[in-house]
A and B are shown apart, each in its own frame.
Chain A
Amino acid sequence: MLGAATAWLRENRAVYLDNGTSQRDYRVQLRGNKSIILFAIYLIILIGTASLVYSNIQVGSGYYGGTYSPYGTFGARRMSIVEAQQTLKAFYTTIMMLLAGVVSIIAPALTATTVVTERQRRSFDLIFSAPVTPKYFLVGKMMSSFRYTWMLLILALPVTAVCVVLGGASWSDVLISYLLLSVQGLIMTSIALLLSTIATKAVGAVVWSYAASIAYLYCSSILSFVFAFRGIMGGGGANSEQPFYVALSPFAVQQAAGTYTTIAGHHVPNWFLAILFAGLVSKLCLLGAATLLSPRPAKEIRSLRIHALVVAPLFLFYGMWSAGSSMGSAGMVVPTSAHGYGGRVLFSVMLGLFIIVPFLSCFGVDGERRYWPNGVFSPKHMLNGTPAGGLPFLLSFILINAAAIFGGLWINDRSSFDSSAGMWVVYTLGFWWFFWSIGRLASSAFAGLKSARTMQFAAFLLIVVLPIPFLSVFFDWISASSDEASGWDLYILHPLFMGKTAADSALVWGVILSALALLLTLVAQIQTRRKMQLLEERYVRNNPTA
C-alpha cells in the first residue's frame, strides 16, 4: 500500500514537476529574440487598443444622463458617477473581450502543431522506448502550450490593473475572470492537443483545431448569452443563480464571474464548476490522445471508455435537470413533454458521435498497429478497444446517456413523461448502428484503416449533410417541419424537424435503419470472412512449413 502510494507520488512528481517534454519545449519557446519581439508586439497592440478604447470613452460626445454633451468627457464632470462607472465597466468588458480573443487565437495555434510535428520527426519511438507513459508526454505538451497562453495573460495584467484603478472592476473580478479565461484556454488547449494527435500534417492540425475552437466558442457563447439574456429578461440582469455552463464562454467571463449554482442548498460558484468541467474535458481529451499515441493502448482505451460512460451522462443529467428547473424559475417556457424535448436533445447530442464511431467500427492496417476482426458483438470486449467491442460500447453509451437525459427531465416534470421517449431511443440506436455497419462494410472492403474511416466519414456526409441542398431545391423548407407528406420524409434527420408526429416518425426511421444495419452487418461479416480466408491462404503460401 505504502509502496504503491510512493510510486504514485514519484510518477506524478515526474509528470507535473520534472517533466522533460515541458522543459525542452520551454527552452525552445523562449530562445532568442523571437519571443521578446512577439511579446513586445503583443503588448503594443494590447496597450494601443486599450488606449484607443479609453480615449474614445473620454472624448466621445453623446447623450449623458439625458443631456446632450458636445464634450463627452467625464473628467469635465459632464457625466454622472453611475454613468461613468458603467462606462468604465464597458471599458473593462472590452479589455476582457480582447483577452478572450487572445486566448481563443493563441491556445489552439500553439498546441495544434505540438504532437503532429513529433510524429513527422518520428520521435515517438525514442520517447516511448523510455519509461514514459503517454500521460507524461501529453501533460508535458499541454503544460508548455498552456504556460505560453498564461504568460500572455500575465503580460496583460498592467492593462487590467488600469481597469481596477479607474474603478471599472474589482481585483476579485479580475482574479475570477483570469481564472475563467485560463479554464477556457485549458479546454481549447486540450481539444487542440487531441486533434494534433489525430492529424498527420501540421496544417491539417491547425485547421481542425481552429474549427473545433470556433465550434466550442459558438456553442459556449450561445449557452452563456442565452442564459445572460434570460437573466436580464427574468430579473433585470441581477439573477446570479445560473447553470454553470454560462461560465464556459471566454467572451462572457465578466458576466459569469459572480454567478453560482445551488447544489443541496449551497451556492457553489460557477467558476469552481467550470474548473471541474475543464478538468474532466481535459482528461477525456488526454485519454483520447493517449489511446492514439500509446504503443500498447489497452489500458488507456479502457480508462477512456469508462470515463466516457460516466462523465457524459453526468453532464447531460445535470444539463437537463438545471435547464428545466432554471427555465421554470426564470419564467421561461418549460418543455411541455419529455419525449418532445429529451428525444431531440438525445439525438442532437449523440450526433457528436460521428467523430468517434469510425474509431469504434473500423478495423484494418494502420501503420504498424493492426486491428483485426474478432467478432461482431462481444460485450466482454466492450472496454478493450478491439472491433468486437465497438458496437456494445456504442449502444451502451447511447442507452446510458438516454437514461441520463430522460432522468434529468423526469425529476423536473414527471407528468409529461411517456413511452414516446422509447421511440426516440430506438431512432438514435438505429441511426448509429447503421453508421457502425457502414464502417464495418468499409473495413471489409479496404485493407487500410484510414481508408475505411474516410469512407465511413464520407458516407455520413453523403447521407446526413448532402441531401439538405437538394431537398431544399425541390421541397419547401417549411414542409420539412409540418406533418404533411413531402420529399423531406425521405431525409434521415427528418424526425428532428417534425411536429406532433415526430416520435412516430422517429420510431419508423429507427426500425428501418436497424433493419438496414442488420443487412449491412451480415454482408460485412461475409466479406470479412472471405478476406480473412484470402489472407490465410497467402500466409500458407508464403510459409509452406507453417
Chain B
Amino acid sequence: MLEVKNLRKEYGGLTAVQGVSFNLHPGDIFGFIGSNGAGKTTTIRMISTLLEPTSGTALLNGADIRRDPMEVRRMLGYMPDFFGLYDDVKVWEYLDFFAAIYQVPTKKRAEVIDNVLELTDLTVKKQAFVQSLSRGMQQRLCLARCLVHDPTLLLLDEPASGLDPRARAELKELIAELGRMGKIVIVSSHILPELADFCNTVGIIERGTLLACGPVDRIVKEMQPNRKLKVSLIRDGSEATLAIRDMPFVLGAQESGENEISVDYTGDHEAQADLLADLIKRNFRVITIQEDFADLEDVFMKLTTGAVN
C-alpha cells in the first residue's frame, strides 16, 4: 500500500507541490493528470526518492521515503519521461545490468530476464542491440527494466509520449496487465484519453495542489451530479425545448444546435423512457435521445484554470 502524506516541495519562494495526499492499494492504476509544470513529475520524483521533500512524506508498505529510501527503492520501479538507454549494449545485457543493481541474485537473473522479456513481448529481441529497437520497443524495454526486481509500485512518467497508436495501445494493455498482477501503478500524463481507458483512480493536480483524487466514476459523478441528455429531432427544436422544460425530472433544457436539445435531467431510465414517449405522443419527430456522459477531459477542464507554477 502507498500512503502519500501531505507531500510538499518548495524551491525558495516557489512551491512546486503543496500538501499532496492520497492512498493507493495493490491493483490500483492511478492516473496523475495535470498540465505541464503542474507538479506531477516533482511528486513522482519525491516518491521515487530522487528528490527530498520539504515536508510531508510517503510510505510504501510501511517504508518511509525520507527515513528509509533504500528500502523504498527496492520496492519501486521508476520510468522517467525519457529513455536513458545504453545504446551500446544488448537487450539482455541492459536488463542484466539493472538486475545486478537491484541486487537480484546472480543465479536467478537469467530466469528473471526471460520472464520480463516475455511479459513485455520482447523475447525475440533478447540478443538485439538496444539502439536497433523501435521507439515502442524501447519504451517496453524500459518497462521491462522496471520489472526485473518485481516491484510493488511502478512510477511511469509520461510513458506513452511520442509513441505511435499501435505502440500506445500495446503499452496500455501492458499497464492494465500489471494492474491485474496486483501492482500499484502511477501513470502521469497530460494526454487524458490515454489515461481514461485503463486507470481506475485519478488525481488532478494544478499548480502543485491536488484538486481531485479518487475513482474515476466518483470524480465524474461529483463533477456532474445530474444526468445530461441529448435529444435530436428532425424539426421543431424550439417548440420541443419549451415542452421538455415542463416535463417531470427536467431541471433545464436548451438548444445546443439546430434541432438539438441539451437536457439537465434527474430521472432514471424509466422516467427517460416516459419522456421519450411523451415527446412522440406530442408529435415531435425524435431521431435519438441519448445520455451525454462526462469524461475525464470535461472534469479536468472544469477543475483546472490552466495556470502553472
Q: Which residues of A contact B (CB under 8 A)?
A: 14, 18-21, 23-24, 27-28, 31, 121-123, 125-132, 136, 295-296, 365, 368, 370, 372, 532, 534-539, 542-543, 546
Residues 19-58 of B contacting A (Cβ, < 8 Å): 45, 48-52
Measured between beta carbons, the chain B residues less than 8 angstroms from A24 are 86, 89, 93, 96-97, 100
> What A residues does B74 contact at CB under 8 A?
131
In the complex, the answer to whether B13 meets A130 with C-beta atoms within 8 Å is no
- Tell which of B77-85, B110-118, B231-239 binds the partner: B77-85
Could you say which of A23, A123, A532 contacts B100, with CB atoms under 8 Å apart? A23
A126/B78 contact (C-beta < 8 A), A28-B88, A532-B13, A539-B14 known: yes
Q: Are B86 and A123 closer than 8 Å at their CB atoms?
A: yes
B84 touches A125 (CB 8 A): yes
Interface centre among B86, B88, B101, B307 (most CB of A within 10 A): B101
CB pair A125–B11 under 8 Å, yes or no, is no
Bound-complex Cα distance A539 to B10 (A): 10
How far, in whole Å, are A27 and B97 apart by their CA atoms in the complex?
11
Q: Are A131 and B103 in contact (CB under 8 A)?
A: yes
Highest count of chain B CB atoms <10 Å: which of A122, A131, A537: A131
B210: chain A residues at CB < 8 Å are none
Closest 10 CB pairs of A and B: A535-B13, A20-B100, A129-B78, A539-B13, A123-B84, A24-B97, A131-B73, A20-B101, A130-B101, A295-B50
In the complex, 10 of the A-B residue pairs with CB atoms within 8 angstroms, ordered by the A residue number, are A28-B89, A125-B80, A131-B71, A131-B101, A295-B52, A296-B69, A370-B12, A532-B13, A539-B14, A543-B15
Closest residue on chain B to residue A127 by CB atoms: B101
Q: Which of B14, B84, B96, B103 contacts A122 (CB 8 A)?
A: B84
Q: Is the interface of A mostly helix, strand, loop or mixed?
A: helix
Inter-subunit contact A368/B51 (CB<8 Å)? yes
* Residue B207, interface by CB 8 Å: yes
Residues in A with CB closer than 8 Å to B145 are 126
B98 contacts chain A at the CB level, 8 A cutoff: yes
Report the separation of the CA atoms of residues A546 and B16 in the bound assembly, to the nearest whole angstrom. Answer: 12
B70 at the interface (CB under 8 A from A): yes
Name A136's closest neighbour in chain B (CB-CB). B101
Given contacts A14-B103, A295-B49, A539-B13, 11 further A-B contacts (CB under 8 A): A21-B101, A28-B88, A28-B89, A122-B82, A125-B45, A129-B73, A129-B76, A130-B98, A296-B69, A372-B11, A534-B13
- Complex-state Cα separation, A127 to B74, whole angstroms: 12
Q: Nearest-CB distance from B119 to chain A (Å)?
A: 19
Q: Determine the residue in chain B with the shortest Cβ distance to A372.
A: B12
| CA–CA, A358 and B71, complex, Å | 34
The reply to whether B15 and A130 contact each other, CB–CB distance below 8 Å, is no
CA A543 to CA B209, docked complex, whole Å: 10
Cα separation A241 to B88 with both chains bound (whole Å):
50
- Measured in the bound complex, the distance between the Cα atoms of B94 and A24 in whole Å is 8
B106 contacts partner chain A, Cβ-Cβ < 8 Å: yes
Find out whether the CB atom of A126 lies under 8 angstroms from the CB atom of B73: no
Of B49, B76, B84, which is in contact with the most chain A CB atoms at under 10 Å from its CB?
A: B84
> What residues of chain A lie closer than 8 Å to B98, measured between beta carbons?
20, 126, 130
A541 CB to nearest chain B CB (Å):
10
A residues near B82, Cβ cutoff 8 Å:
122
B188 within 8 A of A: no
B:235-253 near A, CB below 8 Å = none
Judged by a CB distance under 8 angstroms, whether B284 is at the interface is no
Provide the bound-state CA to CA distance between A194 and B271, in Å. 75
- Choose one: A130, A370, A539; the contact of B102 (CB below 8 Å): A130
B115 to chain A, nearest CB (A): 18
Would you call A121 and B86 a contact (CB within 8 A)? yes
Residue picked from A24, A296, A370, A372, most chain B C-beta under 10 Å: A24
* Chain B residue at minimal CB-CB distance from A371: B12
CA A230 to CA B99, docked complex, whole Å:
56
Task: Mark contacts of B259-286 with chain A using CB atoms, 8 A cut-off: 1 yes-contact digit, 0 otherwise.
Answer: 0000000000000000000000000000
Whether a CB of chain A sits under 8 angstroms from the CB of B132 is no
Chain A residues in 8 Å Cβ range of B93: 24, 27
- Nearest Cβ on chain B to A19's Cβ, whole angstroms: 8
State whether A27 touches B14 (Cβ < 8 A): no
**How far is A538 from B103 in the complex, measured between Cα atoms in Å?**
46
Q: Is the CB of A125 within 8 A of B14?
A: no
Give the residues in chain A near B103, CB-CB below 8 Å: 14, 131
- Whether, in the assembled complex, B309 has its beta carbon less than 8 Å from a beta carbon of chain A, the answer is yes
Query: CB within 8 A of B51: which of A21, A136, A295, A543?
Result: A295
Please indicate the chain B residues that have their CB under 8 angstroms from the CB of A132 in the complex: 73, 101
Tell me if A538 and B101 are in contact (CB < 8 A): no
Contact status A532-B12, CB under 8 Å:
yes
Q: A126-B78, A295-B49 are in contact. Are A538 and B13 (CB under 8 A)?
A: yes
Q: Is there contact, CB below 8 Å, between B13 and A125?
A: no
The CA of A126 and the CA of B141, in the complex, are separated in Å by 13
A542 and B14: CB pair below 8 A? yes
**A539 to B: closest C-beta gap in Å:** 4
Residue from B13, B52, B101, B309 in contact with A296 in the complex, judged by beta carbons closer than 8 Å: B52
B11: chain A residues within 8 A (beta carbon)? 365, 370, 372
Q: Which of B13, B84, B89, B100 contacts A18 (CB 8 A)?
A: B100
Q: Is the CB of B15 within 8 A of A129?
A: no
Write the nearest CB–CB distance from A197 to chain B, whole angstroms: 17
A175 to B175, CA, bound (A): 58
B139 interface contact, C-beta 8 A = no
**Known contacts A24-B89, A131-B73, A136-B101, A121 near B13 by CB under 8 Å:** no
Of B45, B96, B100, most buried by chain A (CB within 10 Å of CB) is B100
Known A-B contacts A122-B84, A123-B86, A539-B15; the reply to A130 vs B73 at CB < 8 A is yes
Contact of B84 among A121, A131, A370, A534 (CB under 8 A): A121
Report Cα–Cα, A539/B84, bound state, in Å. 33
Alpha-carbon distance between A20 and B74 when the two chains are bound, in angstroms: 16
Q: A27-B93, A296-B52, A543-B18 are in contact. Are A131 and B78 (CB under 8 A)?
A: no
Query: Which residue of chain A lies nearest to B69 when distances are taken between CB atoms in the complex?
Result: A296
Give the nearest-CB partner of B52 in chain A: A296
State the CA gap A447–B15 with chains docked (Å). 17
**Roughly how many angstroms separate A125 CA and B78 CA in the complex, as a whole number?**
8
Find the B residue at minimum CB distance from A295. B50
- Shortest beta-carbon distance from B110 to chain A in Å: 14
> In the complex, are the beta carbons of A543 and B207 less than 8 A apart?
yes
Report the minimal beta-carbon distance from A353 to chain B, rounded to whole angstroms: 28
A452 to chain B, nearest CB (A): 14
Q: Tell me the smallest distance from the CB of B146 to a CB of chain A, in Å.
A: 9
Q: State whether B80 touches A126 (Cβ < 8 A).
A: yes
Q: Closest CB of chain A to B13's CB: distance in Å?
A: 3
Q: Please, which residues of chain A bring their CB within 8 A of the CB of B18?
A: 543, 546
State whether B80 touches A536 (Cβ < 8 A): no
Query: Is the pair B12, A129 in contact by a Cβ cutoff of 8 Å?
Result: no
